[in-house]
Structure 1
Amino acid sequence: MAMSEGSSPGVTLPEAPASAGEGAVGDAGAAALAAGTGGRAKRTRVKAIMEATDDPLLGKTVAVKGWVRTKRDQKAFSFVEINDGSCMKGVQVVIPQDVPTYSAVERLTTGASVSVTGVVVESPGKGQRFEVKAQEVHVVGECPTEYPLQKKRHTLEFLRGIAHLRPRTNTIAAVARVRSALAQATHDFFREEGFLYLQSPIITASDCEGAGEMFRVTTLPSEVSKVPTLEDGSTDYSQDFFGKPAFLTVSGQLSGETHACALGDVYTFGPTFRAENSQTTRHLAEFWMIEPEMSFADLRDDMDNAEAFVKHVVSHAMEVCGSDLEFFNKFYDKELLQRLQRIKDKPFVRTEHERWLAETRYDTAVFVYDYPRDIKAFYMRDNEDGKTVAAMDLLVPGVGELIGGSQREERLEQLEAKMVEFNLSPEDYWWYNDLRRYGSVPHAGYGLGFERLVCYVTGVENIRDAIAFPRSPGSAEF
């Protein structure tokens, strides 16, 4: 069950005291800026201090730069927790009163940015091995009392309205780190498997899915009366920028196939767009897709690669984002780590479509394959029974479809017949058909919605929290 942002340790932010007056930035701020530019190479990330497995930094002077999470004042010291986004935890900085800028420190508020130089020492307190004893503290940027992230519970829905600030919360910061790790693991996996990375176009004239739910790209006048038309009253796109109808891509698959049929194995990883008027927690108008294409491959090869990929990226996230996943396991999905371990260790179940309909649901990843041809896309290869296609979906608990893939139809005659059946013009896809006309080979591929993968690995329920700036019907802020 998802929790409200702000109800976990380190997420509930304390009320900010009155804003600092003169002297809080001034010369100290200028010095901090100088230290933060020319001295950037010497900056020590909080993660290097808080997640060190040994003590190489003990007794060393470090420069820590980040944002204030909490501050406690005592008689001769102030204790300030600083977080720089590199990990879940913040580092405790002990600031003695004899620090020259202590008057500015006393007025520090939650959200202020600071630059601290000090020595790493063993911490006598609970919860951390090390802390920093400050020698110099500079306030880089003050944070006034109207800072939205105050000491109260903030729902994820509220945070979507301040998407520019929500990365400062534990949940969204952790999502961002996991997302980054998954992206890095994606490139690592395909490189190790011998795939080439292809940057497919965002503007296209092709509808890969044949659904017609595409965003149009045009420079024609916005005033209807000035739009050029043909004799039948339809829009004259010959006068548009590209000379024909153009759209934001719904998939990089067709471009991927062109290169797979020349270079062997390729993958694309980029933004895609669907003009679906859907307000569900699983759909976005703009989302990222991972789409590999493999030559000389069939549906079994497709499923083998997809399973290996998911296991690889999940393993990588568990290895490098341990504290973030523990946070999600504690506050969002108490079975998360157990579920991810199952995905990592156990073979995926594979079942034919009809058996899937007849059997109970599994509690692990399941490949469902050989779907009825009438409900799948035109480019999927017909099976010998004439009723099904060589298509598969990977279904995972809590998310549903994570991957959709198929063996592509490599036979020209069958492909052109299906285009007509799907009300597509073979002439518009002449270049796609050329792949079958000149040295055609069996090939297969799949698409994985990256935000759904992020949701699955983190346990976050709403896909709008798995991307920095979600785009959905009626929402294109920031």
Structure 2
Amino acid sequence: MKHTKVKDLLNGTKTLHEVKAKGWVRTFRNNQFIALNDGSTINNIQCVVDFENTPDETLKRITTGAAVSVTGTLVESQGAGQTVEIQVTKLEILGDSDPEKYPMQPKKHSLEFLRENAHLRIRTNSFGAIMRVRSTLSFAVHQYFQEKGFFYVNTPIITGSDAEGAGEMFRVTALPFDGTPRTEDGQVNFKEDFFGKETNLTVSGQLEGETYAMALGQIYTFGPTFRAENSNTSRHLAEFWMIEPEVAFNNLADNMDLAEDFIKYVIKYTVDKCGDDLKFLEQRLLDEEKSKPQAERSEMSLLEKLSFVMDNNFKRVSYTEAIDILKSSKPNKNKKFNYIIDEWGADLQSEHERYLVEKHFKCPVILFDYPAKIKAFYMRLNEDGKTVRAMDILFPGIGEIVGGSQREERLDVLLQKIADLGIDEKELWWYLDTRRFGTAVHSGFGLGFERLVLFVTGMSNIRDVIPFPRTPQNAEF
């Protein structure tokens, strides 16, 4: 007999028939009641063991974490909290678990402890829920773009260009550390390296994505990206996933429309598909908030925050207007902000972004037309000569979640910007060709997938929404 997923057993309506289930023991009570979970749902199914006719040796092996197979009759449950249970007629231990050494005991563990056991934390309710939500969100990303006629492009992980110009990249090399080949002036001779030039792990697939958009019309990338920023905060990872659509003939307004529609779609899809997991995560967040001072507690529950995004039109505000609002705000005047806003041109921090969303406008916000000096070289210069056609989407509780722009399609302007920033034109010859041969207005944005998962799950640390986090001094597992 094939085994049936626990989710399907719990959702079924037919009882009094023989079933088989396989999974891991969450708890075993009174030598009789197994709480069995197979990962298909956050809910366990109760399996009632005939302990009088089960050998003691077998009963002793039913411990938390053990893998078991149960066969029996699915019946209506007499206990509270579940509709059906399995009256076990046959039980098989598939894999033992040492109860003295198994870390994931049925009790509350700190998130730090669970990060140290990232290979097993998925067996807890919290991380099972988080990763099912992550999987659903990932599917929704592909479904949205496929339904809209986008083409999925796999851009390179190894690259010779720095899309962001930040310089915080992981180098890829096959050169030996001892006896590294050098040029006459003592520099590393990358011509002798595997690729014959200096290469790195990518921080973005945008530049390559633009070249494909200028032939396929509308494309998206969704893959791993890397940043060697030595930052040990709850918002940073060295390895993370990016969603980056690029669309030919779209201007900045079109880009904002696309980003808003996309975000609302994937959140709604996940809310519809992950009801049990999100309810659990909402309750987890409420319990966590009880230990915080009243002033630090969120004004909205998790599902209220998700509805807040789905049900509200995103307010579109220029950077200049936002600066005026922030300069005259009470937190700024009373010096409550950690970073005081006193002049146009300031790079906004999370506290400013959250103030605009949560206190001033009380809805998601799209800021646009940022100062050119604080944005990347590829963003289209406005007629004022000091701002660019950039946009950031700001969310409650998290601040910036999306960054995008209308790209600079004019070759002469792009060449001047590259020269002003000291970027080697030869390194971007292929990118500049898209402006030489059939250039056109085009736009795109980038969304850090982990930030989206962070928002949808209500977690506060980005290390808890990726299976195996990579951070400074940490590449375990």
Residue 260 of structure 2 is aligned to residue 260 of structure 1: no
> Could you list the per-position Cα deviations for residues 178-198 of structure 1 after superposition, in whole angstroms to 9, with x for gaps in the alignment?
000000000000001100000
Pick from 97, 101, 124: which aligns with 2:78?
A: 124
Report what 1:407 is aligned to: 406
Asked if 1:58 corresponds to 2:11, the answer is no
Q: Is the counterpart of residue 71 in structure 1 residue 28 in structure 2?
A: yes
- Residue 239 of structure 1 corresponds to 192
1:76-475 matches, within 5 Å, as 78-97=32-51, 103-144=57-98, 145-223=100-178, 226-333=179-286, 335-359=301-325, 361-363=356-358, 364-475=363-474
**Whole-angstrom CA distance in 1 between matches of 2:311 and 2:203:** 33
Partner of 2:438, secondary structure, is: coil
Assess if the C-alpha contact under 8 Å between 1:101 and 1:138 holds in 2: no
Match of 2:3 among 19, 31, 43: 43
Q: CA deviation at 1:392?
A: 0.3
C-alpha distance in 2 between matches for 1:180 and 1:151: 25
Match of 2:476 in 1: 477
In the alignment, the residues of structure 2 paired with residue 107 and residue 194 of structure 1 have an alpha-carbon distance, to the nearest angstrom, of 53
Using the size of structure 1 for normalisation, the TM-score is 0.88
CA distance in 1, matches of 2:386, 2:50: 77
Question: Quick check: 2:282–2:302 contact (8 Å CA) kept in 1?
Answer: yes
Q: Distance in 1 between matches of 2:23 and 2:107?
A: 22
> What amino acid is aligned across from residue 66 of structure 1 in structure 2?
G
Shift of residue 97, structure 1, vs aligned partner? 3.2
Residues 184-234 of structure 1 deviation map (CA, whole Å, 9 limit, x = unaligned): 0000000011000001110000100011110000011112xx111111111
Q: Structure 2: how far apart are the matches of 1:99 and 1:397?
A: 57
Q: What amino acid is aligned across from residue 361 of structure 1 in structure 2?
A: L
CA distance in 1, matches of 2:93, 2:67: 6
Give the deviation of 1:420 after TM superposition. Answer: 0.9
Residues in 2 aligned to 1:390 and 1:99: alpha-carbon distance in whole angstroms: 74
Aligned mates of 2:357, 2:238 — CA distance in 1: 30
CA distance in structure 1 between the aligned counterparts of 2:301 and 2:255, rounded to whole angstroms? 29
Task: State the match for 1:18 in structure 2.
Answer: none
Q: Is the 8 A contact 1:368 1:394 kept in 2?
A: yes
What is the deviation of 1:454?
0.4
User: How far 1:98 moved relative to its partner?
Assistant: 5.8
Cα contact 1:116–1:138 (8 A) shared by 2: yes
**Shift in Å at residue 446 of structure 1?**
0.4
Shift of 1:245: 0.1
Aligned positions, number: 430
Give the Cα separation in 2 of the matches to 1:151 and 1:84. Answer: 16
Query: Which residue type is aligned with residue 58 of structure 2?
Result: A
Q: Check conservation: 1:99, 1:137, Cα contact below 8 A.
A: no
Deviation at 1:429, TM superposition (A): 0.5
Task: State, as a whole percentage, how many aligned pairs show the same letter.
Answer: 52
1:294 and 1:99 mapped to 2: Cα distance? 67
Q: Report the Cα distance in structure 2 between the residues aligned to 1:314 and 1:335, rounded to whole angstroms.
A: 15
Number of the residue aligned with 1:7:
none
Q: Which amino acid aligns with 1:148?
A: P
Conserved? CA contact 1:99–1:135, under 8 Å:
no
Once the two structures are TM-superposed, the CA of residue 327 in structure 1 deviates from its matched residue by 1.1
CA distance in 1, matches of 2:130, 2:103: 20
How far apart are residue 393 of structure 1 and its match?
0.5
Which consecutive unaligned segments of at least 5 residues does structure 2 have?
Answer: 287-299, 326-354
Normalised TM-score (structure 2): 0.88
The answer to whether the Cα contact below 8 Å between 2:169 and 2:226 also exists between their aligned partners in 1 is yes
Q: Counterpart amino acid of 2:50? A: P
Query: 3-state DSSP class of the match of 2:356?
Result: coil
Task: Output the amino acid matched with 1:267.
Answer: Y
- The residue identity in structure 2 corresponding to 1:73 is N
Q: How far did 1:43 drift?
A: 2.2
Contact 2:45 2:85 (C-alpha < 8 Å) held by counterparts: yes
Cα shift readout 1:103-127 (whole Å, capped 9, x = no counterpart): 4034411111101112211111111
Residue identity matched to 2:7: K
Q: CA deviation at 1:95?
A: 1.3
Give the aligned partner of residue 290 of structure 2. Answer: none
Q: Is contact 1:204–1:247 with CA below 8 Å preserved after alignment?
A: yes
